[in-house]
Amino acid sequence: ESEAHWIHVDIMDGVFVPNISMGLPVVEAINRHATKPMDVHLMIVQPERYVEAFRAAGAANISVHVEACPHLHRNLQQIKALGCRAGVAINPHTPVQGLADVIGDIDLVCVMSVNPGFGGQKFIEHTYRKVQMLKQLIVNAGANTLIEIDGGVTLQNAKRLLDAGADVLVAGSFVFQAADPKAVIRDLAAV
């Protein structure tokens, strides 16, 4: 019922990140009731083993971590062959330059602005600079890649992130800890 465009779903395996979250049955349950596309963020090792199952569960976008994919180009082609937007997530310490050779194959780069694995963390300030560098990489390549920010997004940093080049803002704790989550989403959408 909110003004959110997508439902972002974090999948954690307790190996790639030190936390465990929902899996396929929960994604399938969300899909039965969702009226918006699911943006599935796989924070797992060997994501190539599971992308088909997450597509079957209802994912419209699937993002895999560059740090978990020794064969990233192959992973992107696999996701696209399923009819999904292919996303690549990058941890705070990962330089955007490592995406240069595949940026044209990426539909969405999910820039982690916190260390992945736990909600409610403080936003990492160097994210603004990282987004600017990524935007320049995308422009230079003539790509249509979206930039998504995941972690610590609030009304205090949303405009600056968009000004830096972000296209999509993921807000979890900021929304769900609010007294009126729909109003917070509406306010973020209006930035």
User: Which residues are catalytically annotated?
Assistant: 10, 150
Task: Report how far residue 96's alpha carbon sits from residue 119's, in angstroms, rounded to the nearest whole number.
Answer: 23
120 in a labelled binding site: yes
Report in angstroms the alpha-carbon separations of 147 from 30, 45, 69, 111, 183: 24, 23, 19, 7, 24
Q: Return all residues near 93 (Cβ < 8 A) that are at least 6 apart.
A: none
Is 187 part of any known ligand binding site?
no
According to the annotation, is 165 in a ligand binding site? no
Q: Is 58 annotated as a binding residue?
A: no
Establish whether 41 is an annotated binding residue: yes
Q: Note the Cα 101 to chain centre separation in Å.
A: 20
Whether 104 has a binding-site annotation, put simply, is no
10 is in an annotated binding site: yes
117 known member of a binding site:
yes
- Binding-site annotation, residues for substrate: 41, 117-120, 152, 172-173
- Binding-site annotation, residues for a divalent metal cation: 8, 10, 41, 150
